[in-house]
Chains A and B, each alone.
Chain A
C-alpha cells in the first residue's frame, strides 16, 4: 500500500504527464494552423493555380476531406443523438448531447469550408440556396446539410433548458437527416452513370456504413479521453463500450460491402475493370493495402477485440484517420478512368490528364481544415460546459 506521500507524488506525476500531453497537443494544433494558413493564403492569392486537380480529374483531396467530414458528422450525430433519445447510459445527459452536437459541427463546418474553397466561383456559393436545382444531388445535399446544422443548433439551445417538449422531436428529425446525408454522399457519386466505379447502388450503403463507423470511432476517442467531457469515468466507460461494439460491427459490415463490390467486379478472370485495378495495383496501391486495409481495417479489428480501453482508443483513432483513404479510393480512381480512349493524348496539358497528385498547397489547406475543426470542437465544448454549469439542471 502506498503512503499518502506516495499517492501525492503519483497524482503529481499524472498531472505533469497530462500537462505535457496538453502542451504537445497545443503545439501540434498551432503548427497545423500556421502551416494551414500558409496554404490558405496561397489559395486566396493564386486561386486554383497551385492545385493538382484538373478537368479530367476535377475533384481531389478537399472533396475527400469534405465527404469524410460530413460522414463523421452524420455518423457521430446519429449514434450520439439516437443514444440520447433512447436514454442509453453515457449519452442520456444533455451535456453529452451537446458534446455530440459540437462534434458534428466540428466535423461539418471544416467540410463545408473545404468544398467552398474547391469552387471555381466561391462568391456564388449562395446560389445553391437561392436558385437550387433539386435534380442535382449536390443541391439536395447542400440543403439537407443546411437544415441539419440549423436543427442541430436549435437542439443545442433546447438542451440547455429544463425539459423541452420539442427537443426529442427535433432530434428525431435531425437523426433522419444524419442518416440521409451520408447516404446521399454515396448517391452523389452513384447517380453519375459516366463513371463505372461510381454508378453502383451499393455506394450509398457503403458511405452510410463508413459514416457510422468513422462517427462511432471519433465519438469513442472523445468519450475515452479524460477531461474532454464532464462525464464520470464510469459513464464514459459505458459509452466507450457501446461505441466499441458499433465500431467493430461497422468495420466488419463495411469490409463485407467492399468485398462484395470488388469480388463481383473481378469475378470474371478476363474482366477489365480499370478503376478497381487502379485502386489495387496503381501508383497509390499502398493507400488501399496499407492505409485502408491494414491500418484502417485489420489492425483496428484486432485492437477492438482486445479487452483494454487503451487499445480501443488507438483502434478508433486509426479508423477515424484512415477512413479518409476509403473516400479517396472512391473519388480519385472513379475519375481517373476515361470513357474515350486517347482523349488525354489528343490535346495535352497538365490540367487535361487522368492523373491526380495532391499538391503541397492542398495538403496545407487540409491541415488548416483539421485545425479549424479542432478549434470549433474546443471552443464549442468550452461554451457547452459553461452553459452546463450555469443551468445545473442535470441529475
Chain B
C-alpha cells in the first residue's frame, strides 16, 4: 500500500528534521567552545628557582632554560607558547631522554612518550647514523583532538595538547589520527608480571612488584594503576611534563639529555633561549605536508 499525502508530509518533516538536527550538531561543535583550562592570574606561578644564583654568560644552557621557565611561569598561561627544539647534530642516540621520561611518568610496558628513531644513510663504509627523538609534536592543528568522541583531549592555551584520564573511554581513535604515532594506549601491562617466584613457589611481591603501583603525577594528580584505575585503558602521550613545569622544573627529557641537545622554553618570550635558537637556525618539523604545524622543531 503506497503512502498517502499525509504520510508523505510526515515523512518529509521527519527526514528534514533529522537532517537539520545532524547539521546543527556538527556546526555547534565547530564553533569555539568555552576554554576548559584556567587562565589569567590563577595560572601565574612565582617560582624562586635559581633566585640565589646570579646568572653568568657561560652558564649551562639548562640553567638558562630554567630561568626562562621561571619567567614564563610568572605570566598567565595564555601568554606562554611552549616549544621544544631538538638539535640533531648533538643527539648521540643514547635514549636517556626515553628512559628518563619512562621513569618520570611511570610509563608501563607498551607505553612510550619519546622514542628515539635511528636514521641510517649510505652504504658501508660510508654509513651515517643520525637520531630523531620524537616526543608529541604539540601541534597547533592537532588531528588527534577533533576525533575524540567525548572531548577528553584538547589543546591548552599554552600549546600543550592534554588528555583527561578521567574522561577518556579508550577507543583509540586518537591513536590512529596522529601521523607521528605519538599516542600510545595503556593496556594494563606490568614489568614484573610473571616475575620469578621465591624458593617456596610464591611470588615475593604478589602479582607484580610494589613499586609498579606507585602513582604517577601527570597533570598534577596522583594516578594509581593498582586499582585498575586510569590511566589504565586510556590513551597517553607526552605533555611536556606539565607537572614539572608547575614546580619550576624543565621536562625530564631536557634535563636528562647528556648532549644538551633538547631545548625547551617559551617562544613568546623575546629573551628566551628557544626564541634565539629559532631565529638563528634553519629549523624543520616532521611531516610538514600534514599541515599539523608542530611546536617541536629540529636543527640538522
Q: Which residues on A are within 8 Å of B, measured CB to CB?
A: 47-49, 51, 54-56, 58-59, 85-87, 92, 118-121, 124-125, 127-128, 131-140, 142-144, 147, 163, 165-166, 168-170, 172-173, 176-177, 180, 191-195, 335, 338-343, 345-347, 349-352
Contact = CB atoms under 8 A, between A and B. Distances in A.
A169 B18 CA distance: 12
B234 A120 contact: yes
Given A47-B188, A120-B234, A127 B110 contact: no
Given A128-B169, A346-B134, A169 B150 contact: no
A87 B2 contact: yes
A121 to B, nearest CB: 4
Interface stretch (B8-16, B53-61, B242-250, B253-261): B8-16
Nearest to A132: B149
Interface string B87-127: 00000000000100000000001111001111100000000
B171 A135 contact: no
Contacts of A176: 15, 18-19
Contact of B189 (A49, A132, A144, A195): A49
Given A121-B230, A350-B110, A340 B29 contact: no
Interface of B: 1-3, 6-7, 10-11, 13-15, 18-19, 22, 25-26, 28-30, 98, 109-112, 115-119, 132, 134, 143, 146-151, 167-173, 175-181, 183-189, 228, 230, 232-235, 286-287, 290
Contacts of A341: 117, 119
A343 B150 contact: no
A192 B7 contact: no
A191 B10 CA distance: 34
19 contacts: A47-B233, A55-B110, A85-B3, A120-B168, A120-B172, A121-B234, A133-B151, A136-B146, A138-B171, A140-B22, A140-B26, A192-B143, A194-B143, A194-B178, A338-B181, A340-B117, A347-B112, A351-B189, A352-B110
Contacts of A128: 149-150, 169
B187 A121 contact: no
Contacts of B2: 86-87
B149 A55 contact: no
Given A87-B2, A193-B290, A120 B115 contact: no
A340 B137 CA distance: 13
Given A121-B233, A128-B150, A346 B171 contact: no
Given A168-B3, A340-B181, A120 B171 contact: yes
A192 B18 contact: no
A193 B143 contact: yes
Nearest to B181: A343
B14 A58 contact: no
Nearest to A53: B172
